[in-house]
Amino acid sequence: MLDSSLAVTAHPDRLFIGGRWQTVAGTSRLRPVNPATEAPLQDIVAAGPVEVEAAVAAARKAFDDGPWPRLPASARAEAMRKLSAALVRRGTALDSCWLSQVGVPAWMATGASAGAAGLLDYYAAMAESYPFEDVRPAQGMVCKTAVVVNEPVGVVAAIAPWNGPLASLLVKLAPALAAGCTVILKPSPETPLEAFLLAEAAEEADLPPGVVNLLPADREVSDLLVRHPGVDKVAFTGSSSVGMHIAQICASRMARYTMELGGKSAAIVLDDYDPAGLGPALAPLVTLLCGQACINFSRILVPRSRHDDYVESLAAAMAATRVGDPLAADTQMGPLAMERHHAKVMDYVARGRAEGARIVTGGERPGGLDRGYFIQPTVFDRVDNAMTIAQEEIFGPVTAVIPYDTEEEAIAIANASDFGLSGGVYTHDTDRAYAIARRIRTGTFTQNGREYDLTNPFGGFKKSGVGREGAREGLEAFTEVKTVFLPHVPSALAQ
């Protein structure tokens, strides 16, 4: 049974740096809050400039002088599986952290940490089979052999958002470890608890000192980490505005980076899709995580000829979504994650009204929920794609229905966005769906749903990011490519 009392760490006053729990020089604290009750959770120590230096130095030493990058891939894989098992043993506590800090329903949080830990097992298996050394022919005057080597990129700053704290860290940590990198975990200041439990698991798994380091910090201190010359790569998930700021810093010193950023994903509904089925199919993909998922459908494009039928179906399904206590068995959507974000989403609702869009359902605090950062699932129609609510990422359970007259117009509307993370089409004609998918500028696209599968590449076009997480591409993102020319194949690589 999940419980906020389980969302605690044994080391709230120390940070895991260089393989041990160390005291902190400053007095700053991070104070996460339960968004459903507004009650404070466990206070956590925050890192300062001293700890940034210590974490980078520990990770640097572990990479430059330690065994981890030089271990056989099979040995790294064995250590990663131990880390995965240590996380699974903390499953109830980790699931409770997600529920208590973010307000996700218990049915969604239960078992989620085991799935996230599975990323370690997935990349452990990949490390054992990946061709880190690839022998190729060369056309040189002397050397007729080239060995193309994927070497670890170095020290990685893994910066996670607050909506999916554990999974967002592990989708960076797992491939980075598989590649041979050392890692500094930087959780969001709003959701630090999972990262502490992850560090506890790293200690239990007996990873070499400095391979995994913990650095919870506010945004100013995080900036020091991104700017640090000892960090070779930044792997970031978060807002597009912060991502572009980080990218500028990295570019100024030629540091590597991958960015998984925001979205304004459009679902294109074709005229062969039954209106009665649309609402039940789409509502969960708008309200997932109270809309705080970058891949959620925040624009719904419908044929003008059937506009009213589609709007009616969607509005009914959204209005029927059960909002409430995340611990209640029948809750389908919990609260927004924090007070300031609740205010931001409500401001977008007000802007939608002011710009002439019509609220079909929602837009208010649900009745009977006077505490917590709750909002009703919200549907706008009479929306023009140029409106603020159709262009900016709201990051809440708010979607805009936009009519179109032709398929060409629908494609143009879907692409008329600064973002390009996800998208979908609702039709029973797979050939038609694939033809549309090839014309939409997004990193992922799904027929009749929205898939999120990290055994395949995930990432975005345009302001939705740079690079890909998941799959083989996610591992390669933590490597540098070196070409070694030799007269002959080295004996270790000879068949």
Catalytic residues: 260
Beta bridge partners of 266: 299, 423
Phi, psi of 446 (to 5 degrees): -135, 140
Q: What is the DSSP string of 324-376?
A: S-TTSTT-SB---S-HHHHHHHHHHHHHHHHTT-EEEE--SPPTT--SSS---
The answer to whether residues 150 and 138 touch, using CB atoms and an 8 Å cutoff, is no
CB proximity list for 192: less than 8 A, separation 6 or greater: 30, 32, 44, 165, 216
Q: Where are the alpha helices (DSSP H) in 44-153?
A: 49-64, 73-88, 91-102, 106-109, 112-129
Measured CA to CA, the distance from residue 242 to residue 259 in angstroms comes to 10
Measured CA to CA, the distance from residue 309 to residue 299 in angstroms comes to 17
Look at residue 222 and give its three-state secondary structure: helix
Work out the angle between the directed axes of helices 91-102 and 112-129 (0-180°, nearest 10).
120
Task: Look up residue 200 and give its amino acid.
Answer: E
321-338 in b/e form (b: 16+ CB < 10 A) is bebbbbbeeebbbbbbbb
Beta bridge partners of 485: 146
Token pair for 322: 């059960």
Token pair for 46: 């925050």
Work out the angle between the directed axes of helices 73-88 and 112-129 (0-180°, nearest 10).
170
Measured CA to CA, the distance from residue 323 to residue 339 in angstroms comes to 17
Measured CA to CA, the distance from residue 362 to residue 221 in angstroms comes to 39
Token pair for 152: 């670890």
Question: What strands, in cross-sheet order, belong to the sheet with 155-159?
Answer: 212-214, 182-186, 155-159, 233-237, 256-260, 465-466
Helices (H) and strands (E) in the chain, counts: 16, 22
DSSP annotation of 477: T
Owner of token pair 């030799």: 486
